[in-house]
Structure 1
Amino acid sequence: MFPPPSIVLPSNTMSAAPKENVKWVDGLRGIASLLVVATHLARGFDEDLFKSISKDPYKDLQPGEVVVPRLFQYPYLRVLVQGRIGVSIFALVTGYVCALKPIRQFRAGQMDAAFSGIAKSAFRRTPRLFLPTTIITVASWFICQFGVYQIANRSEGWWINHSSPNMTPWIGRAIYELLNAIVTTWSALWNPYDINHWTLQPLLKGAFWVYTFLIGTAYMKPRYRMTASLILVAYFYVSKDAHLGSQFFFGTFLTELSQDPGHTAWLKSNKWPARTLTPICIIFGLMLASYPEKNPEWRPWSLFMLRVGHRIFPDGSEYPRNYSSLGLFCITLGIHFSSGVKDVLSNKYLLWFGKNSFAVYLLHGTLLRTILVWMLFGVSFPKDVEKEGKMVPGPPLKICGRVGWYFWVPIWLVMLYSIANQWTKHVDPFCARMTARIENYMFEEQHTTLSAEAQQNREKAKLSPLPR
């Protein structure tokens, strides 16, 4: 989820590919953050959008009644609201970014610099993910203990209720639950104060898979390293982890492919891949990613995809995630073939969304269950009612009308990205400074100095005459 490093081409090698546009990765990440927010809005307030159609067309119909899909239940458009592809994009971008600079250095023969960079990047990645996640978890825990999530708890909609924790009456127990949430975010993929944080541990783990892969294949010829990347893509596919595991190494494969001089020269001299393969790959990929999460048998196009899935996916795998993963493979290949699409993804607006994507991912769940819920449901609790001689909670709060929904959601989105932008400006730099302090404290500068001196000595030894 971090911005890709800037590329500095080595001047001492003729094997390096020309400098390419890698900013498109940040633009794609910006789209992913928007998709994640959209899918949680749909899951919280309109879960019918995840079905292939809102009602079973084969039963319980009135005479003459015809079931017509809603706008966002049609193929392509439904990708916008069932944004499960967003998490896969984050995984692919992680693999791409982690491999970008080391592969440049491998191809330039700068092995010492590559290994040093991998070691430092691997060290920094943990605190750069852990610190901001812990900060927002503590903030969410704090407001939870003051009852801020109670309106969400009393609102209609199971997902909103499920994701809104209850107050803890005893301070000792509350502190224990906070510490437990910080641990289980990384050990059990569970954070009761923000259930959306389940993806952070797989993304951290995937980064270390990529670092390990790079070290193990550092001295391979590039074409065999690409082959090894694709083997791991296939391995995670048959291991039922196509939506994350395969994406890390497909991102690594794309990084290597984009830096291959022969391939880049071929793309530069041939325009037909951008004109033909790019639209075919993107259109086909979006169709694959349109596979419904629920009731695919209710529509002919999704029923066909369901039957195909029985033949091509491992038994017991999740078809919606697998189809989104296959779709992302096709979409990113289409992007790879076209410099024009890369330029579109590199525009300043998508880059701004990409810059704030991590902050949006961390913050949107908390702001959805507080500010947006208050906008849509109000701030008053339903009155308790008497039932069988006992006072029980009243009926759940009803959401405002359609006009209110379309009025308040855009305002909330502006608030979300404004707050996320402030987080990016202030909290992320603080976490970066803390990471740098930890690194300076724990790393031994003497080893770096000795390594540089040893390198100088080796160069002198090459130039000096042999002793007689």
Structure 2
Amino acid sequence: MSARPSQRNIKWVEGLRGLTSVLVIVTHIARAFDYPLFFPADNEHAAPRLLQLPYLRIPWQGRIGVPIFAFLTGFVCAYKPLKLAYQQGNAPAALKSVARSAFRRPPRLVLPALIATFISFVLSVLGGYKTANRCDNYWVRFDAPDDIPFADNVRRLFASALTTWTNTENQYDRHQWAMRPLLIGAFQVYIVLAATIGMRFKYRMLVHVLLITYWLMNVNALTETFGAMLALGTLLAELAQHRPTQNYISSHQRLLTFVVVPIILLIGGFVGSYPAEHDDWAGWSRTLRRILVDPAGDQSRGSIVVPKGSDVLRRTSAFFIMCVSVSLFLAPVLQKLLSHPLLLWLGHHSFAVYLVHGTILRTVGIWIVYGITGEPWEPAGHNEDGSPRQQEWLQPRGGAHKLVAIVVFTALTYTAAWAWMKWVDTACARATQWLENKVFSDDDDDLAGAGADGKASLAEKGYGPMANGNGNGAAPRPYHDADRSQPPP
């Protein structure tokens, strides 16, 4: 049976986004309440726990959420313009779609992020992060804004609202560090689309492959997390609309689904299991290091997957996400699984979850485990005999409190995300739509010249009154190329 790209199921994109938001939640729970899950074992001589084993450790160890969001950004930003250009043969409409999408992207990211930052600021002013600043978990302390005077807090609010989009630093919600590169990445996709919209298929493919290769060869920070993932998303969006490719997948579906895809996932999952710390504590992680990170044994060179000088953890995670993305593309059964209504609901609320979960974790979640008052507390200093006194951090109450905190935190996060989408995100969407309607004009109204708005739009585009002596000329009427030998004035 021939595949019809126009009828492809792309609901899986929303489902993957929802699953990714869950992965972000679980990895931050691990960071806050069970950091040794990032190791291959609790210590050098201990046997690994179940969730520390390869494959099973991937959801808890983190590093995969943001690359998936980058891949989805490349896919989603490219899919509609490509569909207009190559399925419907309307390149001008595709370019206009790119223009409108590029206009919508900044306010749809900036406005919600500003609101989330302001909410965290209010909690900081009210002392909501006191316990987080005093607990024994370094990661929680680092993420929580310090308790400072009100005037300094206000200045820090305005600084964070700016630096989120300049250097990724937001002291009220450090999880917003990915917002700036995702925004820039979306515009990279728009530029590639505009530059290649008139190319033949094979040359567009060449551009995407060269971009992926370039970003993977580049060992600067985050190139594999954003640049390569964005380009891969755009490449797969192209292939999703290419009829011969879809026909091939349909005719070899069983082979791809039951043989090729499992092999890809097994290899990718093993590489993606590389531990964040103490890779010498387990045989499997030492093997990965020997193969991928230090093949020569003297740190003189790296490998194709992890070039010398690159970020080992992000490279291994990027390789895994690439394997997952290709597998989803090749196996419609996986796309169907990701199209489950629950995952679609989670996907619809994923951006809200990303914005609110950190604030809830560092307040309510930490309060349950360490206490709401942040006491007893004695800052580091000197003992009565003048000797230095080390800082003693608040200790967790116990495993039961952590379990309650996880349940309450998760429930509050998704409740807050639901409320956010119902009221906050809706308001931001309306504001963005209002701006778009003000900035962009309707070509049909322009040609008709109806009303004052239509005349103003024509004037902006260079159309003036007809030279009839009284300044009341009509707008230019539509014409066919055959009607005149010269272009209109």
Judged with a 3 Å threshold, the aligned counterparts in structure 2 of structure 1 residues 448 and 230 are, in CA distance, closer, same or farther, namely farther
Instruction: Please give the per-residue CA displacement for 1:91-137, whole angstroms capped at 9, x wherever unaligned.
Output: 00000000001111121320111111100100000000000000010
Shift in CA distance, 456/237, structure 1 to aligned 2, threshold 3 Å = farther
Deviations, residues 266-311 of structure 1 (Å, cap 9, x unaligned):
1222231122112222222222211111121222222222122222
Q: Please tell me whether residue 152 in structure 1 is matched to residue 132 in structure 2.
A: yes
* Residues 232 and 447 (structure 1), Cα distance of their counterparts in 2 relative to 1, 3 Å cut: farther
Distance 1:305 1:288 in 2: 7
1:388 to 379, 383, 387: 383
- The answer (yes or no) to whether the contact 2:130–2:373 under 8 Å persists in 1 is no
The corresponding residue for 1:245 is 227
Contact 2:27 2:61 in 1 (8 A): yes
Corresponding residue for residue 334 of structure 1: 327
Secondary structure in 1 matching 2:7: coil
Structure 1 counterpart of 2:470:
none
Residue 54 in structure 1 maps to residue 42 in structure 2: yes
Instruction: Summarize the alignment of residues 16-415 of structure 1 with structure 2, pairs less than 5 Å apart.
Output: 17-57=5-45, 67-107=46-86, 108-171=88-151, 173-240=152-219, 241-271=223-253, 272-309=255-292, 310-312=302-304, 313-385=306-378, 387-389=382-384, 395-415=392-412
1:397 is paired with a residue of what secondary structure? Answer: coil
Corresponding residue for residue 423 of structure 1: 420
Distance in 1 between the 2:9 and 2:377 partners? 60
Give, in whole Å, the separation in 2 of the partners of 1:211 and 1:384. 52
- Asked whether the 8 Å contact 1:16–1:260 carries over to 2, the reply is no
Distance 2:178 2:199 in 1: 31
Aligned match of 1:60:
none
CA contact under 8 A between 2:360 and 2:412: conserved in structure 1? no
Contact 2:3 2:250 (8 Å CA) reproduced: no
Count the aligned residue pairs.
442
1:301 is paired with a residue whose SS is helix
Structure 2 CA distance, aligned partners of 1:162 and 1:27?
32
Q: Give the aligned residue type for 2:369.
A: L
Name 2:298's counterpart in structure 1: none
* Counterpart-to-counterpart distance in 2, 1:450 and 1:117: 20
SS in structure 1 at match of 2:168:
coil
Give how far 1:340 is off: 1.1
SS at match of 1:383: coil
Q: Is the 8 A contact 1:16 1:104 kept in 2?
A: no
308 and 396 in structure 1: CA distance in 2 versus 1, 3 angstrom threshold: same
Question: Which has the higher Rg, Structure 1 or Structure 2?
Answer: 2
Q: CA deviation at 1:383?
A: 3.0
In 2: Cα distance, 1:78 partner to 1:90 partner: 20
| 2-structure distance, mates of 1:83, 1:275 | 28
1: CA distance, partners of 2:27 / 2:189:
28
Following the alignment from structure 2 to structure 1, what is the Cα–Cα distance between the partners of residues 167 and 191? Answer: 23
Contact 2:447 2:477 (8 Å CA) reproduced:
no
Report if the CA contact (8 A) 1:151-1:373 is conserved: yes
Give how far 1:15 is off: 12
Q: Give the counterpart letter for 2:383 in structure 1.
A: E
Contact in 2 for aligned 1:382/1:395 (Cα 8 Å): no
CA distance in 2, matches of 1:465, 1:167: 72
8 A contact 2:72–2:230 mirrored in 1: yes
Looking at structure 1, the residues matched to 242 and 137 of structure 2 have their Cα atoms a distance apart, in angstroms, of 51
2:435 to 434, 438, 454: 438
SS at match of 2:197: coil
Question: Are the counterparts in 1 of residues 272 and 320 from structure 2 also a CA contact under 8 Å?
Answer: yes
Give the Å deviation of 1:337.
Answer: 1.2
Q: Determine the C-alpha separation between the residues in 1 that align with 2:252 and 2:38.
A: 41
The code of the aligned residue for 2:370 comes to F
Contact 1:384 1:394 in 2 (8 A): no
The alpha-carbon distance between structure 1 residues 430 and 406, as it changes in their structure 2 partners (threshold 3 A), is same
Q: Which amino acid aligns with 1:262?
A: P
Residues 141 and 178, structure 1, Cα contact 8 Å, conserved in 2: yes
What amino acid sits opposite 2:261 in the alignment? T
Task: Give the AA of the match of 2:184.
Answer: K
Match of 2:465?
A: none
C-alpha distance after superposition, 1:46-90 (max 9, x if no partner): 221112222124xxxxxxxxx201121100111010121111000
Alpha-carbon separation, structure 2, partners of 1:412 and 1:91? 26
Residue type at the aligned position of 2:191:
T
Secondary structure of residue in 1 paired with 2:165: helix
- Evaluate the alpha carbon distance shift between residue 448 and residue 224 of structure 1 in structure 2; reply closer, same or farther with a 3 A threshold: farther
Match of 1:9?
none
Of residues 397-406 and 186-195 in structure 1, the stretch that sits farther from structure 2 once superposed is: 397-406
Any stretches of 5+ residues in structure 1 without a counterpart? 1-13, 58-66
Change (3 A) 1:296 1:374: same
Distance in 2 of aligned mates of 1:394 and 1:294: 25
Q: Is the 8 A contact 1:384 1:393 kept in 2?
A: no
Offset at 1:248? 0.2
Per-residue Cα deviation, 1:404-452 (whole angstroms, up to 9, x for no partner) = 3223312321121111111011111100111122223333457973499
Letter of the 1:326 counterpart: F
4+ residue runs of structure 1 moved beyond 6 angstroms?
A: 390-394, 451-456, 464-467
Partners of 1:88 and 1:331 in 2: how far apart? 11
Asked whether the 8 Å contact 2:208–2:231 carries over to 1, the reply is yes
Contact 2:268 2:319 (8 Å CA) reproduced: yes
Q: Specify the SS of the correspondent of 2:57.
A: helix
